[in-house]
Amino acid sequence: MWIVQNSMEVRHSLEKKGRNLATYDFSTLYTSIPHEALKDKLAQVVMKAFKGNKKKFIRVTSKSARWNNENKKMSNNIDCDTLIKMIDWLIDNTFVTIGSSVFKQVIGIPMAQTVLLTWQIYFLFLRI
């Protein structure tokens, strides 16, 4: 799986390898992803990552995040369940402002958050 700027990039790389090529434009994808489906798919990704790395925690510091099995006191260690809860909280508690009004995002995800592009890719990949 990779991200491309346009379909020509894919076409050129697959010219001798592929027979059929289809491209899609997801102009409304961000605004139409159901929250429960997104949370379910992201939980699958997180569980698979923890299982595949055979680690119990992600240790987060001011400079990096690393997989590890030690839960030391005074460390910011995040386990699988906690990370899933954090992602769920972010999805459930996203608000947007328009003028002086504040609205809770109940479907879809806002496009301004960098991590959300990655979430969108995982969501699509797991639905195929």
For the stretch 88-115, pLDDT in tens is 998 899 888 889 999 888 887 776 666 6
Residue among 25, 48, 50, 51 at smallest CA distance from 124: 25
The pLDDT assigned to 85 comes to 97
pTM reported for the whole predicted model: 0.68
Residue 32's pLDDT band, with cuts at 50, 70 and 90, is confident
Residue among 105, 127, 114, 126 at smallest CA distance from 46: 126
> What is d(CA 124, CA 112) in angstroms, rounded to the nearest whole number?
19
pLDDT at 80 exceeding the cut of 90:
yes
Mean local confidence (pLDDT), 45-74: 88
Q: Is 38 exposed, middle or buried (0-12, 13-18, 19+ CB in 10 A)?
A: buried
The pLDDT assigned to 57 comes to 93
Mean local confidence (pLDDT), 30-45: 85
Residue 10's pLDDT band, with cuts at 50, 70 and 90, is low
